[in-house]
Amino acid sequence: MGYTGDVTVGGPRDLRVLDEVEVRKLAVGPSDNNAYLLTCRRSGAQLLVDAAAEPDRLAELVREGSPSARLDMVVTTHRHRDHIAALASLVAVTGATVAVGEPDADAVTRATEVGVGRSLHDGDTLVVGHLTLGVVALRGHTPGSVALAYREPEHATAPGAVPGRAHLFTGDSLFPGGVGNTEQDPGRFALLYADVTERLFDRFDDATWVYPGHGADTTLGTERPHLEEWRARGW
């Protein structure tokens, strides 16, 4: 079977193989978080999105992607405890650089005693092996929440070739059915809704695949018809 993105805590990871990258998705407990390992197929370089929990299982995932247990970077999508519980253990084993949205960086360090090697800002670029990922700041769930954007390479070489499909790793800022929790704060909701609308839906097409911090994957095309509904309900 191909990739579905349907994973459960204690169950196997799911694997998506693209031209340049392998994406492994694993659910870890106790809060049913998704962790994503991106492996550059040419160089073996690896990036983990959210060292959320169960460091032994995450280390096993890293070894599956790279027998030498190479892990170049851990990107923490935001500062909440359920997304950083395994960070200290995994960094101690792998020596990976930690990258966090700048407004959340100090909080992550205080909670984990792990130094942040790279503070992220909207529009930054991360290079891992031969992979290039864009940083998208999505303020509201936390001040420093970030998403990562990866775009598949073009296959056509003729003039007017269409860019490859985009893939978004959105943390807790975008899910199937709505944006992330803003604790019924109208100001935070307005900020997150604006960032998600302008920085994701206005920039990427409907084929864009969304990998959230919890639960099932979705696409922007599936969610786009509901944007006005989300705005009206305020969550």
Q: How far is CA 33 from CA 65, 91, 207, in A?
A: 20, 18, 24
Q: Residue 3: phi, psi to the nearest 5?
A: -65, 135
SS3 218: strand
- Give the pLDDT score at 105: 98
pLDDT tens sequence across 1-26: 699 999 999 999 999 999 999 999 99
Q: Is 154 exposed, middle or buried (0-12, 13-18, 19+ CB in 10 A)?
A: exposed
**Percent of residues, the chain, with pLDDT higher than 90:** 94
pTM (global) more than 0.75:
yes
**pLDDT per residue rounded down to tens, the chain (235 residues):** 699 999 999 999 999 999 999 999 999 999 999 999 999 999 999 999 999 999 999 999 999 999 889 999 999 999 999 999 999 999 999 999 999 999 999 999 999 999 999 999 999 999 999 999 999 999 999 999 999 999 999 765 556 656 799 999 999 999 999 999 999 999 999 999 999 999 999 999 999 999 999 999 999 999 999 999 999 999 9
Token pair for residue 6?
Answer: 């349907």
Domains in the chain, start-ordered, CATH in brackets? 14-233 (3.60.15.10)
Give me the pLDDT at residue 23, please.
98
The per-residue pLDDT for 1 is 64
Integer Cα distance of 146 and 210 in angstroms = 13
